[in-house]
Amino acid sequence: MINTTLCYIERDNKYLMLHRTKKEKDINKDKWIGIGGKFEEGESPEECLVREVKEETGLTLNSFNLRCIVTYESTNYETEYMYVFTSDDYTGKIIECNEGELQWVEKNQIYDLKIWEGDKIFLEKIQKTNKFFTAKFCYDGDKLVKYDIKEY
- What topology is assigned to 2-143 in CATH? Nucleoside Triphosphate Pyrophosphohydrolase (3.90.79)
pLDDT score of 23 more than 80? no
State how far the Cα of 152 lies from the Cα of 144, in Å rounded to an integer: 24
Compute the distance between CA of residue 101 and CA of residue 95 in angstroms, rounded to an integer. Answer: 10
Find the mean pLDDT for residues 65-89: 96
**Is residue 62 pLDDT above 90, yes or no?**
yes
* CA–CA gap between residue 5 and residue 7 (Å, rounded): 7
Which pLDDT score, from 0 to 100, does residue 27 have?
78
pLDDT bin (cut points 50, 70, 90) of residue 121 is: very high
What pLDDT, on the 0 to 100 scale, is given for residue 22?
A: 82
* 51: amino acid identity, one letter: R
In the chain, where the domains are located = 2-143
pLDDT of 25 strictly over 80: no
Average pLDDT, integer, range 95-124: 95
